[in-house]
Copies of this chain bind each other. A is one copy, B any other.
Amino acid sequence: MPETFVIAQGGGPTAVINQTVAGAALEVRKRHPGARVLGARHGVRGIRDGDYVDLSAVPEEQLRLIGNTPGAALGSTRDKPDAAYCDVILKGLQKAGADAFIYIGGNDTSGTQQILTDAAGDRIAFVHAPKTIDNDLEENDHVPGFMSAAEFVAGAFLSVDLDFRALPGTYVGIVMGRHAGFLTAASAAWRLDAESGPHLIYVPERAFSTERFIDDVKASLARHGRCVVAVSEGVSTADGKALVESLVPADRLERDQHGNVKLSGSDLTAALERALATGLPGKRARVDALGYMPRGAISAINAVDAQEAFDAGAFAVQVAAEGGGSVALQYDGTRTVLKKVPLVNVAGKTRHMPDDFLQPDANALSETGMAYFKRLVPEKYKIGKPFV
């Protein structure tokens, strides 16, 4: 039986990642009375630096309030540990007397747990608890954090489409997502009818062509009198380059510390504005990056997502008692079930949106895709149909 659990959060926060902390901490109290739960501040940095919150001492009521709070309450990190860093983490865990480490995060986080398992899986149980708004983890039907972010995006596009019914023009909303288009595609979940936007959806899984984009917008304007577009920040041209790379001069392109092209700045917004101004001169067009807003929006916390995130934390404690692994949310045809899967199946892998979620020859969801998003983000509001 584990006696000291260390828990940490990695990568971008979500609206419900703290539910997973609360779920794990409260499950330890239930299954392992007397065991300690140490929350490492800022992910593996806290383990490296011995910087912990004693979650065992936090009253249940307070933990439940923390669960309701968006963002990562323990702090997070973008550190992607290599073998040497993992050695430092192992020493930190040993110093803390840890016999289980639950790390909540996405594919990078599961990758860290894989390295640690290979090094010391016989002494410490390493558990990955899933979290990502990108919804891009293998073995999972969907991932905690996604439904809430998807609900934000569905609501934002429903709302903006209603705005553009009233004052027609072209709207492009840029949605987070470097490699997987799930979150962008969720923009269609709350379409009212066949007239509704988003009229066009561009995801990283399909090659993007600016020419085709302008033609698509023209066709949509001709048909609907307006055009609402959802585009992933990570869309790429046929040569595999990020769109922002083909639209922005190389000397003006920003890169992050890992050398990846920075998708989050205003470059892509400006480039799409220029493309629309050139392709459709004089026509009203607006390009907004939704930016950080979908990620941890308190206004869009989905109750099912919150519960599943809590349950995933509780289940992680069971997985720890079984020696470690990755927690996965699978769908059995009627409901979501929690499963323990091998870390290696998830670590460092990216699940892409299935090709059949999109229509073969159009930038729109297929029935299969629509059914998936309607299951995860069912309609929430009772509204009427505008007169225009």
Give me the interface of A with B, judged by CB distance under 8 Å: 9, 12-13, 15, 18, 39, 41-42, 53, 62-63, 65-78, 151-152, 155-156, 158-160, 162-163, 165-167, 171, 264-267, 269-270, 273, 286-293, 295-300, 381-388
Check B166–A298 contact: CB distance below 8 A. no
Q: Which residues of B contact A66 (CB under 8 A)?
A: 383-387
A299, chain B: closest CB distance, angstroms = 4
Q: Decide: A273 near B264, CB < 8 A? Known: A41-B387, A163-B292.
A: no
CA distance A72 to B145 in the complex (A): 32
Check B296–A299 contact: CB distance below 8 A. no
**Best-surrounded residue of A63, A292, A382 (most CB of chain B within 10 A):** A292
Q: Which residues of B contact A269 (CB under 8 A)?
A: 266, 269
**Best-surrounded residue of A62, A68, A265 (most CB of chain B within 10 A):** A265
30 residue pairs A–B, Cβ–Cβ below 8 Å: A9-B166, A13-B163, A39-B387, A66-B383, A66-B384, A66-B385, A66-B386, A67-B384, A71-B162, A71-B165, A72-B386, A73-B166, A74-B388, A75-B167, A75-B387, A76-B167, A78-B167, A159-B293, A162-B296, A171-B292, A265-B270, A266-B270, A266-B287, A269-B269, A286-B292, A289-B291, A297-B299, A298-B383, A299-B299, A299-B300
Q: Which residues of B contact A165 (CB under 8 A)?
A: 71, 75
Cross-interface CB contact of A266 among B39, B74, B273, B382, cutoff 8 Å: B273
Cross-interface CB contact of A299 among B12, B75, B152, B286, cutoff 8 Å: B152
A58, chain B: closest CB distance, angstroms = 9
A11, chain B: closest CB distance, angstroms = 9
Check B288–A289 contact: CB distance below 8 A. yes
A9 and chain B: residue at smallest CB distance: B166
A301 and chain B: residue at smallest CB distance: B381
Q: Which residues of B contact A12 (CB under 8 A)?
A: 163, 167
Check B71–A166 contact: CB distance below 8 A. yes
- Quickly give the copy total for this chain: 2
**Best-surrounded residue of A68, A69, A75, A273 (most CB of chain B within 10 A):** A69
A277 and chain B: residue at smallest CB distance: B254
CA distance A74 to B386 in the complex (A): 7
CA distance A67 to B77 in the complex (A): 44
Q: Decide: A298 near B158, CB < 8 A? Known: A75-B388, A163-B70, A269-B266.
A: yes
**Best-surrounded residue of A66, A75, A270, A386 (most CB of chain B within 10 A):** A386
Q: Which residues of B contact A293 (CB under 8 A)?
A: 156, 159-160, 288, 290, 293
A71, chain B: closest CB distance, angstroms = 3
Q: Which residues of B contact A41 (CB under 8 A)?
A: 387-388
A290 and chain B: residue at smallest CB distance: B293
Check A167–B13 contact: CB distance below 8 A. yes
Cross-interface CB contact of A384 among B73, B152, B290, B383, cutoff 8 Å: B73
Check A155–B74 contact: CB distance below 8 A. no
Q: Decide: A298 near B68, CB < 8 A? Known: A75-B388, A388-B74.
A: no
Check B71–A386 contact: CB distance below 8 A. yes
CA distance A209 to B175 in the complex (A): 31
Q: Which residues of B contact A299 (CB under 8 A)?
A: 151-152, 155-156, 159, 297, 299-300
Check B286–A383 contact: CB distance below 8 A. no
Check B298–A155 contact: CB distance below 8 A. yes
Query: Given A13-B162, A151-B299, A159-B299, 18 more contacts at CB 8 Å?
Result: A13-B167, A63-B384, A66-B385, A68-B384, A71-B165, A72-B166, A73-B386, A73-B388, A74-B387, A74-B388, A75-B166, A78-B167, A152-B299, A155-B298, A163-B292, A266-B270, A288-B292, A290-B293
